[in-house]
Amino acid sequence: MDSTDAARTAAGGPHAPLIAILAGEDSGDLLGAELIAALRQRCPTARFVGIGGRHMRAQGCTCWYDIGELSLFGLSEVVGHLPRLLRLRRDLVRRLLAARPAVVVGIDAPDFNLGVERRLKRAGMRTVHYVSPSVWAWREQRARKISRSADRVLCLFPMEPAIYARYGVDARFVGHPLADRFALVADRAAARQALQLPTQCPVLAVLPGSRSSELARLGRIFLDAAAKVGADLPGLRVVIPAANAALHAQLVALLARAPRMEHAPLLIEGHAQQAMLAADAVLLASGTATLEAMLAKRPMVVGYRVAPSSYFLARALGMLKTNIYALPNILARAGGQAGAPLVPELMQDRCTAGNLAAATLELFRDSARRTHIVECFEQLHRELKGSAQGSAAERAADAVIELLGAPNAGA
């Protein structure tokens, strides 16, 4: 039965199939909206409920709870809201058990969603987890536990299904949505024009983190590093995108105490992807932004620090399964690339202004290396898009629709 026939089967009779989608943060809201749009193309009578934000609502999802009720960062915030979150989860499970949707899709937010999915799967409902936890980096054996929650895992990275296969989990690589949002060939000139940057000058994009705690820990180091690069690279323009208004204000305060540069840094709110596209190189904190810089085809230097006690504990308990952290390096190694990491990574004690500046200057001065990196990034971009037709959201929708016509795995 193909996805179209399965959709017709699930939609048969006088009632439209009910699909629950549970997003845990803003990125999940966007993924959920794209998934709803793709599902509706395949099954126009489908109805959608769950947890979401403005993007999912715009696609016609009835959100029982707003995404803001789950979007918490940091242990202290979670602990402070734990009683409310537990009540919300109990109420959500109760409503889902009563509504009996044809399938429940939990998007990311594993600490919340996997527990909900596990309860529903035990009750005989079909469950999908969209966006695999980082089993390639943290405690691979979690893959077995995830099978207790999800009938199917939808993976964004091509190396993930093989890990799940070792534990007998049905996992599908659907492609990464970000790979659909970036052109294969980046347009630097258009990005510079949009940001009113000169066309013929070196440009460095600096992204020291998207959370206040990251800026507090890394901001001064990254801004000092940018100043050191500028001291050795005449005419350098630095562009710093802030994720939101609060981080913009925090960066303004940091810049007031940072070393002076030949040209004052351009601080903007939002437009991080545009800042990367406009740059010759990117200096950034480890995280999803490294994937965006790769898709923008921009050579980068990655740095990060966590509290020494947290790093020591993770290592001592064997929780970390990798000695590389930047997604471009992880993808390159998974693709069989041997030798030195594609992207310089400076972690913990190595994450100093001097080290970051030296690595960044090397990128500016070595044009052959930049060309090689860009070529590798283009290949990785193709791999993230996947060889199958359609977008990541469309392939995810096909995988969900298949389950609508399948027997209940948890019954």
The answer to whether residue 406 scores a pLDDT higher than 70 is no
Write the Ramachandran bin of 155: left for phi over 0, alpha for psi from -120 to 50, otherwise beta: beta
Residue in the block written with tokens 């695999």: 132
Q: pLDDT confidence of 148, banded at 50, 70, 90?
A: very high
If DSSP codes are grouped into helix, strand and coil, which group holds residue 71?
A: coil
Domain ranges in the chain are 3-175+387-404, 188-385
Q: pLDDT confidence of 4, banded at 50, 70, 90?
A: very low
**pLDDT tens for residues 201-243?**
999 999 999 888 889 999 999 999 999 999 999 999 999 999 8
What beta strand segments (E) does 61-194 contain?
Answer: 62-66, 103-107, 127-130, 152-155, 171-173
The answer to whether residue 15 scores a pLDDT higher than 60 is no
Per DSSP, what are the bridge partners of residue 22?
51, 106
Residue 234: the pLDDT is 95
Q: Which of 392, 405, 403, 406 is CA-nearest to residue 38?
A: 392
**Higher confidence at residue 388 or residue 195?**
195
The b/e string for 288-308 (b: 16+ C-beta within 10 A; e otherwise) is ebbbbbbbbbbbbbbbbbeee
Residue 9: the pLDDT is 41
The answer to whether residue 375 scores a pLDDT higher than 90 is yes
Q: Which of 220, 260, 265 is CA-nearest to residue 241?
A: 265
Question: What is the pLDDT of the chain when averaged over all its residues?
Answer: 87
3-state secondary structure 257-280: CCCCCCCCCEEEECCHHHHHHHCC
Topology given in CATH for the domain delimited by 3-175+387-404 = Rossmann fold (3.40.50)
CATH class label, 188-385: alpha beta
Backbone torsions φ then ψ of 70, nearest 5 degrees: -110, -15
Q: Do domains 3-175+387-404 and 188-385 have the same CATH topology?
A: yes
Q: Are 266 and 197 in contact (CB under 8 A)?
A: yes
Residue 111: the pLDDT is 86
Q: What percentage of the chain reaches a pLDDT higher than 70?
A: 86
**pLDDT tens for residues 243-269?**
899 999 999 999 999 999 999 999 999
Which residues have C-beta within 8 Å of that of residue 410, sequence separation ≥ 6? 120, 121, 122, 123, 124, 125, 126, 127, 151
**CA gap 101, 142 in Å, rounded:** 26
Q: Which of 145, 141, 140, 136 is CA-nearest to residue 111?
A: 145
**CA gap 22, 115 in Å, rounded:** 12
